[in-house]
Structures are given as C-alpha cells and as structure tokens.
Structure 1
Amino acid sequence: MSLSIWDLLLYAGALFVLFLTPGPVWLAVMARSVSGGFHAAWPLALGVACGDVFWSLVAIGGMSWLATSLAEVMLVLRWGACVMFVVMGVLVLRHANRKLSENRALTAPGLWAGFVAGLAVILGNPKAVLFYMGLLPGFFDLGATTLVDVAVIACLSFVVPLLGNLSMAAMVHHLRVVLASDQALRRMNRVSGGLLIAVGLLLPFT
C-alpha cells in the first residue's frame, strides 16, 4: 500500500465533515428514523454508503467524463427520488394519527425499498460526485494508486458515512421511543412527512 496512515486519517476526517454537512441524506435518514425507527433507516444508510463507494471509485478511476455521460441518468434518478420522497411524505402525513406500530408508510416496502431510497438520494445528488472529484485528487496521487489503495479508499468511503448515518438513525430512534404519547406521535409523523417532502423538493435543486 502506497498510502500513508496520515493521508487516510485526513481523508476520513474530510468524509466526516461531509457527513456533518446537512443535506438531503440527513433529511432522509431523520425522516425514516422518526417514522419507522432504526429498522427503517439502516437500509437507507447502507444504500447511501454504497453510493459513496460508487462515486469514490469513479473519482479514483479519473473518469470525470463518466459524470457528464451519466447526466441524463442522474436527472432521471433525481426526479425519480423526488417523486418517491414526496409521495412517501404525503402518505406519512395522511396517516399521522396512527400509532408507530401501525404506520407502514415507510416500512411497508421493506428493506430493499430503503436501500434503493438511499442509493437514489446519493446518486441523484451532484454534490457527492463534485465532492469526490475535487477531494480525492487533493489527498492522493490517483495515478500511483494500487489495487490495495483503491480498496482502502473505497472502504473508508463506505464505513465513515455508514457509521455517521447509523449513529444519527439510532439517536433519532431513541428519541422516538421516548416520545410515546399520541400527541407526540402525531407531531413526529407530521415532522417526518414534512422532512420527506422537503427531501423530494430539495433534490432537483442540489
């Protein structure tokens, strides 16, 4: 491996800073955690992490042309994600009075739906590809990277966002358990629905 531990630590720190920057992923994780708990949020976090790996590999390959050639695909993903989150938000708002165990607006599609939602929100966000395209060349000599280097960078790009989003999901989940009154449930469902709709409306402009 040609990469130094210091370079990897700096890159991991930059990924953590990226996680701390609020955006569509934050809203999506919070919305699913509030509405369906940790069980509903972790597949989305996994999908987001896989999307981060994809963009890091694109950047490592030095294929900036890929982002341009995928412009139409990214547009479809972005608008598809937009529609999906808005519809999910409307469903949560319509069932805001249901108890958490009865509110299946987010969890009914299953784990695969959460994973796909995570992929959609990260692949449909051009900030992600811009981050990786601009960041990786500044930290590493991509022309000199080995397969082991690529594997380590991809692992960091996967683990850091995943742990961050899982931690957020767990925190929101515990708050959700504490707030168990009917009034609090209605309020949480309304917030969750509003967040989901916000994700959908924000995606086309990010």
Structure 2
Amino acid sequence: MPDLLSFMLVSIVVIVVPGPDTAVALRNTLFGGRAAGVSTALGIAAGQVVWALAASAGMVAVLVASEPLFLAVKYAGAAYLVWLGIQALREAFRPSPLAPGQGGPRQPPQRRITPSAACRQGLVSDLGNPKMAVFFSSLLPQFVPAGGETFSALLFLGLVFALMTFLWLALYAALVARLGDVLRLPGVRRTVEAVTGVLLVGLGLRIAAEQR
C-alpha cells in the first residue's frame, strides 16, 4: 500500500504538468466541445494502457534499448504534434464567417472535430510520445513490491496511471468547455488557438531535438 500511494503521488505530479497530451486535449475541446475533450482523454488513456501492456511484457525495454526504434517513435510523434499545431494555427488565422447582412463573400465556418476523431488523435499523440516509453520502463518498476509478480504488478500500476490521466484530462476538458461562451468570442478563440498551435509546434520540435 505505501508503494501504491507513493506511485500515485508521483503520478499526480507527472500528469498535471502540462505537456503534449494536455495541449491536444485543450485543442480538441476548443474545436469540439466537452465531448471531444473527454474523447481525447479516453484516447490518451488507451494509449497509456498499450504502453502498460508493452512495459509489462518487456517490449518497452526493447524499444528504449533500440536506438533506431526509439528515434522512429520520437520523430513520428514529434511530426504529429507539429502537424496538429499547424492545424490550430491555420484555424487561428482563418477569416471569421460574416454575419448575414454584412455583405461580402461568406467564409467557411470553423471546423469542429468529432469525438471519434478526437479519440484517435489522443491515442496517436500518446503512442507517439517517447517519454511514455521511458516513464513506463524506468519509473514503474521502482514501485513493484519485492518478490511480487512483475507482469501483473506493472500492468496494474500502468492501469492506475491511465485511469488517473483520464480523470484529470476529462475534468480539464469539462472546465475548458464551461468557458465555451467566452472562448467562442472571435478574438479570444483566435488567441487561444494561436497559443495552442505554438505550444504544439514547440513541443513537437522540443521532442525531436532533445536527448533521452
């Protein structure tokens, strides 16, 4: 029990610190509302379950030890974050649709992301984050009780981490969605989307450039 409590405390620190998953959840909540934000959290948690299974089976250790595989995951995940960031920046600078009677050509409305697409983006974002591989292969084993069954213990800790991540990001999405009326104001929306886009691009470039 002390090991589990210690693990949960460490996990809280890791989860609440903003990173790629938080940025993707924010972006999708802005584009698709609470449903898209919660679906993104579900996709991210599903990705962490995959990491937990891989870590329990020893596959993550192989990934971390293999430089080519690790770099492939790192660069693929970084490129995906940059792509999402560019999409957010495009939305930030997209002309707002004109209200009826204002004259001039009507611009296309802001695109909204569906819950299924948001879930898929959350899954791909988390699976493309090499820090998850390092986290699950290095931190989780430290909290496995001595003499315990390694596979089940690692899987249990991974599932706990995934559940905590989902609850946090779902709450985060709900809080952002409650500010929907304010965030939908053209000036505020553009600013938030621009900031989110810059963050995603910056996170992608940082992941691509940083060492292990």
Match of 1:103 in 2: 110
| Cα displacement string for residues 115-158 of structure 1 (whole angstroms, at most 9, x for unaligned residues) | 22212222222211111211111100487327764553343122
TM-score normalised by L of structure 1: 0.77
- The change in CA–CA distance for 1:167 and 1:22 in structure 2 (over 3 A counts) is same
Residue ranges of structure 2 left out of the alignment (5+ in a row): 99-108
**Compared with structure 1, are the counterparts of its residues 143 and 127 closer, same or farther at alpha carbon in structure 2 (3 Å cutoff)?**
farther
Aligned partner of 1:191 among 187, 191, 195: 195
Instruction: Label 1:147 to 1:202 Cα distance change in 2 as closer, same or farther (>3 A).
Output: closer
Q: Which has the larger radius of gyration?
A: 2
Determine if contact 2:49/2:159 at 8 Å carries over to the other structure.
Answer: yes
CA distance in 2, matches of 1:75, 1:46: 22
Aligned to 1:21: 17
Q: Contact 1:49 / 1:159 at 8 angstroms: preserved in 2? A: yes
Q: Is the 8 A contact 1:44 1:116 kept in 2?
A: yes
Does the Cα contact within 8 Å between 1:49 and 1:158 map onto a contact in 2?
yes
Q: Does the CA-based 8 Å contact 2:20-2:200 persist in structure 1?
A: no
Q: For the Cα contact (< 8 Å) 2:52–2:154, is it kept in 1?
A: no
1:165 to 165, 169, 173: 169
2-side partners of 1:142 and 1:103: how far apart? Answer: 54
Structure 2 distance, partners of 1:25, 1:96, is 28
CA RMSD of aligned residues (A): 2.9
3-state SS, counterpart of residue 37 of structure 1 = helix
Q: What is the deviation of 1:160?
A: 0.5
The SS at the match of 2:3 is helix
Give the fraction of aligned pairs with identical amino acids, expressed as a percent: 28
Q: Are residue 51 (structure 1) and residue 47 (structure 2) matched?
A: yes
TM-score under structure 2 length normalisation: 0.75
Give the aligned partner of residue 201 of structure 1: 205
In the aligned structure 2, how far is the partner of 1:82 from the partner of 1:179? 22
User: Structure 1 CA distance, aligned partners of 2:85 and 2:184?
Assistant: 26
CA offsets, 1:58-100, max 9 Å, x none? 222334114445436514632541353134223312326359x
Q: Which moved more, 1:131-140 or 1:61-70?
A: 61-70
1:145 to 146, 149, 152: 149
> 1:77: which partner in 2?
76
C-alpha contact (below 8 Å) 2:56/2:154 kept by paired residues: yes
Report if the CA contact (8 A) 1:96-1:186 is conserved: no
Looking at structure 2, the residues matched to 129 and 80 of structure 1 have their Cα atoms a distance apart, in angstroms, of: 17
AA of the residue aligned to 2:127: L
